[in-house]
Amino acid sequence: MGKCCDKKKRQIDAPDPCNPPGPQYVSESSAEKEPQNGPLAWFGKMIQNCYEYATEAKAQGKHIVGIMCEYTPRELIMAADAVPVCLCGGSAEMIPTAEEHLPANLCPLIKSTYGYHLQKANPFLEMAELIVAETTCDGKKKMYELMDQTRPMYVLELPQKPADSDAMAHWVSELRKFKTRLENQFGIEITDEKIRQAIRIMNRERALRRELAELMKSDKPPLTGRQLLKFKSSISGISADFEQYAEAIKLLKSQKPHCRRDSQVRVLMTGVPIVHGTERVLDIIESHGGLVVCMDNCTGLKPILEDVDESAQDPVFALAEKYFRLPCSVMTKNDRRLELLREMVAEYRPQCIIELIWQACITYDVESYLVRQLAEKELGIPYLRIETDYSPSDSVRIALRVEALFETIRERTHEQGTPAVLLRKTEAAGGTQRRCSGG
């Protein structure tokens, strides 16, 4: 191992055998220093930035529209001179309130979002003049009905058999109805040109975020998975964000390869979205010797991989096409998710796949069987499924499983050198194992 990567002394936790204390799953030694300024610091205050932006926009007479899923075409909202804001809840504190109306055995993401609604604690939700959602999973769909009692909701019907010949047509008509609704509510005409303008902005954003994510393909990525996750915003299309993305890409590309990376296990995370505030499992992975090089979920690569045709004759149709291709587990069949995973494993060369499932998320949970099969049988890499919610009570257990997984991977790598699958992919990509130059 390179001299530059000296292992730090192990942290010693407060002993209490029976009651895991506020679990010490993130050890100081593994946290990478966060810069005080620059792009990472900018996105460190993302919520504040978004709040200022939304307040300002509202003052200028723009409308705020809440969204709750990646199937919502933000472009249509932007073309209506409105600002789309993601409302997904990431706070455990909102859950008890939500459980006054909702069953306890429901996905924490849904409960938290709903808790914010009841407590009126999400300023973006309070600013929103309209909330858009889709018929995705049952929990969300039914929760929207409760929200609908006191808030202006608009639910698009998402066809669930993407391979059916008439599915697209239905989705297109749903988007057209939605466009009309926006026009009526905000008293504005949404021209094709306005949509194209929005598409260009969103394409630019996706391209920037993609470029950042692709830095993780390197043998020694310049970021941790946790840091990369910071590079996104609850509000899309903020030009100040774009400048920071571009700046980050420039800075990171000019950096020397990161030394600590030699000893870290490359992880691909899949499964449910990791919305702001719910990064616990990711933190556990990265503080126990892992490096999340790729996330395929809705807060990761899935929604930004493809762009919308900017020159399409019918921009609404172009939007429908792009968004309908999103491989979410609410679809049947959801083959594209597995295809995507195959591609990502080839490109990002993870040594294992860790799937995160929010408790009671039936669709991802059932589908996890297929992902395990893909990983273990087809790709020949270990797979670990972690089901949890927003409370940290199982952090110690999760850490144990993650650690044990990494031990087995290291043991294998130690015996056989670089795992066969990695070697093959690295060679195919023309990559070479760079060595740490020291210092």
Q: Does 358 bind ligand SF4 (CB under 6 A)?
A: yes
Q: Which one of ligand SF4, another protein, none is in contact with 16 (Cβ closer than 5 to 8 A by kind)? A: another protein
Nearer to ligand SF4, 261 or 302 (CB): 302
Q: Does 3 bind another protein (CB under 8 A)?
A: no
Question: By three-state DSSP, how is residue 205 classified?
Answer: helix
Q: Does 69 bind ligand SF4 (CB under 6 A)?
A: yes
Question: By three-state DSSP, how is residue 66 classified?
Answer: strand
Alpha helices in 187-218 (DSSP H): 192-214
Q: Does 47 bind another protein (CB under 8 A)?
A: no
Q: Does 144 bind ligand SF4 (CB under 6 A)?
A: no
Exposure on the CB side of residue 237, measured as CA atoms within 13 A: 22
Q: Does 412 bind another protein (CB under 8 A)?
A: yes
Hey, what long-range contacts does 56-64 have (CB within 8 A, 24 or more apart)?
57/83, 58/127, 63/129, 63/130, 63/186, 64/124, 64/127, 64/128, 64/129
Question: Length of the chain, please?
Answer: 439
Q: At what angle do helices 335-348 and 420-428 cross, to 10 degrees?
A: 80
Residue 323 C-beta: closest distance to ligand SF4, Å: 9
Question: By three-state DSSP, how is residue 270 classified?
Answer: strand
Contact range with ligand SF4 by CB under 6 A, out of 21-29, 74-82, 322-330, 380-388: 322-330
Q: Does 346 bind another protein (CB under 8 A)?
A: no
Residue 62 CB neighbour total at 10 angstroms: 16
The one among 40, 65, 130, 361 contacting ligand SF4 by CB under 6 A: 361
Q: Which one of ligand SF4, another protein, none is in contact with 191 (Cβ closer than 5 to 8 A by kind)? A: none
Nearer to ligand SF4, 231 or 358 (CB): 358
Nearer to ligand SF4, 287 or 363 (CB): 363
Distance (Å, rounded) from C-alpha 8 to C-alpha 223? 19
Distance (Å, rounded) from C-alpha 264 to C-alpha 406? 9
The one among 364, 383, 390, 406 contacting ligand SF4 by CB under 6 A: 364
* Nearest of 334, 383, 317 to residue 355 by alpha carbon: 383
- Residue numbers of the site for ligand SF4 (CB under 6 A)? 69-71, 107, 109-110, 136-137, 139-140, 272-273, 298, 326, 328, 330, 358, 361, 363-364
Binding residues vs another protein (CB under 8 A):
10-18, 24, 382, 387-388, 393-394, 396-397, 400-401, 403-404, 407-408, 411-412, 415
